Structure 1
Amino acid sequence: MIEILSVTGPASVQDLGRLDQYRFGVGTSGAMDDVALRAGNILLGNDENAAGLEIPMMPFKLRFDRDMAFALTGADVDAEIAGRVIPPWWRSHAGAGDILTIKAMARGARSYLAFSGGIDVPMVLGSRSTQFRGEFGGWHGRPLQPGDVLPCTASTATIGELGVEPAEVTLARPNADPDETLVRVVVAGEYDGFDAATQELFWSSSWKITPQSNRYGYRLQGPAVKPSMPIEKRSHGIVPGVIQIPPNGQPIIQMRDAQTSGGYPKIAAVIRADLWRVGQARLGRMLRFEQTAYADALAAEAEMSAYLDRLRANVGLVEETRTCR
């Protein structure tokens, strides 16, 4: 088990989400940066859907009650355990009683902690992810608090230290401005309801992530983009990544805790292969959208899958080498 000693902000238990409950009006939840969570589980030899911790704010501190391997991925953070520095995108080993402290987040918006065997909270509607809106899943359906003791699946595997290249390095976008997060999107259902000048304004502008942003949605600030004529639609299905335009013309990107339906016009949608980039963009950072064809979106998905395949192969090779010694 692990005990939460101190926590800042809404840290939570997340896996890859409940992806088959939309017909019941239940959103996905799940890790905002699914690539980071998958990578942590790959490092540990876990099922990639094993539940871990999503930590959006620092400082954060926990205690291990027994020997256990863990992996730290996601945002670039300053962390240590028992006096040892833990680099980001790294797996390590904790002894019983060891305290892990994550002090600061130099870059990115969310850190992920995966544990050998995974966090063993009950499955709810096919997932262990916390659903804040419905107050279910995860640990009692709420953010973690000091004093929470979370069970972990027992694992007897002996795992040495190992690091991997962060996704943001391998999957970096060419020609991206270091002060912006460049996100590829495809046009959505009501795109043609915006005139050519407004469409160009949407593509050419930089958008600031406002403090009103969270796991439900990222509210952006920039020039108003409004349809040529008011578009009134009945609520209909939406998914994470959809970019809606409310009456004030300021875009909203639906994120992992998004509702399953809405009526605002949709101008575009973030491709799945880039949604993790949005999840790692912190409040106040600028986003810029790059129009992408469907075929290129599929190619980006293949590139992300190839990165994860390389991680699996490299970790497997290291373990095979150690076994043969």
Structure 2
Amino acid sequence: MTAWQVLSPGLQTTVQDQGRHGWRHLGIARAGAMDPTALAMANRLVGNDEQAAGLEIAVRGPRIRLSRACRIALTGTEIQATWNGETLPMGRPLDLPAGELSLGPLRDGLRAWLAVAGGLDAPVVLDSRSTDLRGGFGGYDGRALVAGDLLSIGDAAPVKTSRRPAFPAWWIDVDDPWTVDRHVLRYLPSLHPSARELAGAVWHAHANSNRQGVRLDGAGLSGGGGDGVSEPVAVGTLQLPPDGQPILLLADAQTVGGYPRLGHVIACDLGRAAQLRPGEPVHFEPVIPAQARALAHEHAHRLARLRIAIAQHL
């Protein structure tokens, strides 16, 4: 079995797949890629099943020694990527000889995803290879990568490559770059009195944000509290703590909470929230259920077209 050696880990690089589903009744978070679509399309580009495990890279990526030729793909926000010093593009299959893969700082966003043909062969824990950082299990010993880690790669067809990287001229973009603004998140408001006020204020992503959720910084809303009866929450739930600064729950979110709920960000916008850097502005746009369903269908249609386009080119 092929193994990659982590020479330096980056700021926070974790093994993730599409997440751990069906266990929330036991208090177990979904985990998984913060933007499941981005990782799914990266897997498609290298010929994997969309459920295969890859790497999620935050802020700055790792340096990895490739022991043999392999095929990878990078999606998400633009990342400074090189093989033995040679610049690599994103959004397409990359056939790389053995050598050093260096993934540097990310530009204009917070996270990127890497898939490798064969997938990362991490242990399956509760039906997923994803890292649960809060729970300390899954992925690579339940933690972010550190220097010296060895990443096992699953079986894949041999890559025929010369002494330099090979890749096609075509590429994909998971989001439509002409219409998507990651600073706008659409949500279904709850019946809480402050739910609609959320849309009338300008918020900024707080530095104290992580995979559990994005904390928002702004003028504050009334009606927050922490003494309510704990109720189920999910990825995308907007909570209102006592300080009036909302929290948008993300992949590693807890399963219940006592804070009032302002509503729920629609699933196809959560990948945008995963890219919010500390201090960046974010606006909330209320939608009704019919609009949310239409947006979900539009997103699904776009992904279907991408799958067809990738299949035709590979």
Q: TM-score range by the shorter chain?
A: over 0.9
User: 1:199-214 to 2 correspondence within 5 Å?
Assistant: 199-214=195-210
Aligned residue identity for 2:59: M
Aligned to 1:144, what secondary structure does the other structure show?
A: coil
Q: Deviations over 1:234-291 (max 9, x none)?
A: 1111001100000110000111001110010001211001011101111211110000
- Which residue of structure 2 aligns with residue 155 of structure 1? 156
Which range is displaced more, 67-76 or 232-241? Answer: 232-241
Aligned to 1:54, what secondary structure does the other structure show?
A: strand
Unaligned runs of 5+ in 2: 161-165
Aligned to 1:151, what secondary structure does the other structure show?
A: strand
- Which residue of structure 2 aligns with residue 141 of structure 1? 142
Aligned residue identity for 1:149: L
Q: Deviations over 1:16-50 (max 9, x none)?
A: 10011011110100100111101101111111010
Aligned residue identity for 2:173: P
Aligned residue identity for 2:123: P
Deviation at 1:171, TM superposition (A): 7.7
- Which residue of structure 1 aligns with residue 184 of structure 2? 182
Aligned to 2:15, what secondary structure does the other structure show?
A: strand
- Which residue of structure 1 aligns with residue 163 of structure 2? none
- Which residue of structure 2 aligns with residue 94 of structure 1? 96
1:226 to 222, 227, 234: 222
Q: Is the 8 A contact 1:224 1:248 kept in 2?
A: yes
User: 1:184-263 to 2 correspondence within 5 Å?
Assistant: 184-188=186-190, 191-192=191-192, 194=193, 198-227=194-223, 232-263=227-258
Distance 1:212 1:21, change over 3 A: same
Deviation at 1:172, TM superposition (A): 2.8
- Which residue of structure 2 aligns with residue 22 of structure 1? 24
Deviation at 1:90, TM superposition (A): 2.5
Q: Deviations over 1:282-325 (max 9, x none)?
A: 12111100001112111211222122211211111113xxxxxx
Asked if residue 295 in structure 1 is aligned to residue 297 in structure 2, the reply is no
Deviation at 1:83, TM superposition (A): 3.4
Unaligned runs of 5+ in 1: 320-325
Distance 1:5 1:231, change over 3 A: closer
Asked if residue 172 in structure 1 is aligned to residue 179 in structure 2, the reply is yes
After TM superposition, the score normalised by the length of structure 1 is 0.89
- Which residue of structure 2 aligns with residue 32 of structure 1? 34
Q: Is the 8 A contact 1:7 1:59 kept in 2?
A: yes
Partners in 2 of 1:83 and 1:70 — Cα distance?
A: 17
Partners in 2 of 1:48 and 1:221 — Cα distance?
A: 35
Output the aligned Cα RMSD: 1.8
Q: Is the 8 A contact 1:164 1:311 kept in 2?
A: no
Partners in 2 of 1:218 and 1:199 — Cα distance?
A: 17
Deviation at 1:200, TM superposition (A): 5.0
Aligned residue identity for 2:75: T
After TM superposition, the score normalised by the length of structure 2 is 0.92
Partners in 2 of 1:18 and 1:59 — Cα distance?
A: 24
- Structure whose residues are more often helix by fraction: 1
Q: Is the 8 A contact 1:273 1:297 kept in 2?
A: no
Corresponding residue pairs, total: 306
Distance 1:59 1:118, change over 3 A: closer
Deviation at 1:157, TM superposition (A): 5.0
Deviation at 1:209, TM superposition (A): 0.6
Partners in 1 of 2:284 and 2:270 — Cα distance?
A: 12
Aligned to 1:274, what secondary structure does the other structure show?
A: helix
Partners in 2 of 1:164 and 1:206 — Cα distance?
A: 35
Aligned residue identity for 1:209: A
Deviation at 1:58, TM superposition (A): 1.4
